[in-house]
Structure 1
Amino acid sequence: MSSWRIRFEPMITPVFRWWWRLRRGATLGVRGVAQDEAGRVLLVRHTYAAGWHLPGGGVEHRETAVEAVVREMAEEGGVEAVSPPKLIGFYANHANFPNDHIALYMFDTWRPCPPRADQEIAERGFFALDALPEDVTKGTRRRLKEMFASAPVSPDW
């Protein structure tokens, strides 16, 4: 990837983390898991971060975690919830930011919708669990193994 955001990430991220830490004692993010009819999982590749991720993002002010994951899945993945997503787990993401947590949800029933048209998502796609892209992030790979391959559950993202 040659995106300017990736090149400047090592300089930009510490500034944002400092600002977030100043403004909030804790941060909460959400990620969602959706499978197509063939059992493949939805992954996205951002324009500003390396690797493939489960779709998701931050919980905004006055937004619940469920509202955030429903919004993020529609915006990033083109997945509209037909029924409320199910909470899978709550994980510490302290390696990314002290006191950061991620709530993971499963979308059992959903329908396609147009994803948000912006410059945040470089690619999105459904992938078979035995044919994931090589650069799937460690946290994403860990969650998929826990959910679909009976791997031991880790409290850390």
Structure 2
Amino acid sequence: MDNWRLKFEPVITPVFRTFWRFSRAATLGVRGVACDAEGRVLLVKHTYLRGWHLPGGGVEHGETAPYAIAREMEEEGGIEPTEPPVIFALYSNHANFAGDHIGLYRIGAWKPCPPRAANEISERGFFDPASPPEGTTKATLRRLAEVFRGAPPSATW
């Protein structure tokens, strides 16, 4: 726990959520599922969150969700979609923040590019979706089951 963001996350996150609650009625995030030629899925570790996650982030003012996931995949994952992302499911994330929703997108074709989130991502890699790395978050495990094993999509993240 050397990273200051991890140490202060229990304080910082509630402050940001309070700000977001007053500054916006609803928030929208995106996460992406991209596989390499061997069928392994891209996962990332953030410097400010624990565990392995699907790449993604918030949809910024003026962005569309498909544009946001393409941007996040480039920034966090070092992959540039070469065809439009396809929505897989939309989830509520109300347990984390009332009014929050997350769109899960599948990235079909892509090409490598330099990642741009230099200080945000500590690790990235492609993993077998049937046996993701230790520390993969519960939400990510549920999404992998939905996408790769046909589990019914949940209404909540």
Percent same amino acid at aligned positions? 62
The one-letter amino acid paired with 2:25 is G
Structure 1: 5+ residue stretches without partners: none
Stretches of 4+ aligned residues off by more than 3 angstroms: none
Question: In structure 2, do the counterparts of structure 1 residues 155 and 5 end up closer, same or farther at CA, with 3 Å as the change threshold?
Answer: same
Q: What is the TM-score of this pair, normalised by structure 2?
A: 0.97
1:51-76 alpha-carbon deviations (Å, 9 max, x no partner): 11000000001000011000000000
1:68-127 alpha-carbon deviations (Å, 9 max, x no partner): 000000000011011001100100011111110000100111111110152100000000
1:132, distance to aligned residue in structure 2 (A): 0.7
In the alignment, is residue 110 of structure 1 matched against residue 110 of structure 2?
yes
Q: State the partner residue of 2:137.
A: 137
The one-letter amino acid paired with 2:7 is R
Q: State the partner residue of 1:70.
A: 70
In the alignment, is residue 85 of structure 1 matched against residue 85 of structure 2?
yes
1:152, distance to aligned residue in structure 2 (A): 2.2
1:38, distance to aligned residue in structure 2 (A): 0.4
Number of residue-to-residue matches in the alignment: 157
Contact (CA 8 Å) 2:89, 2:153: kept in 1 or not? Answer: no
Contact (CA 8 Å) 2:29, 2:56: kept in 1 or not? Answer: yes
Q: State the partner residue of 2:45.
A: 45
Contact (CA 8 Å) 2:40, 2:128: kept in 1 or not? Answer: yes
Q: What is the TM-score of this pair, normalised by structure 1?
A: 0.97
Structure 2: 5+ residue stretches without partners: none
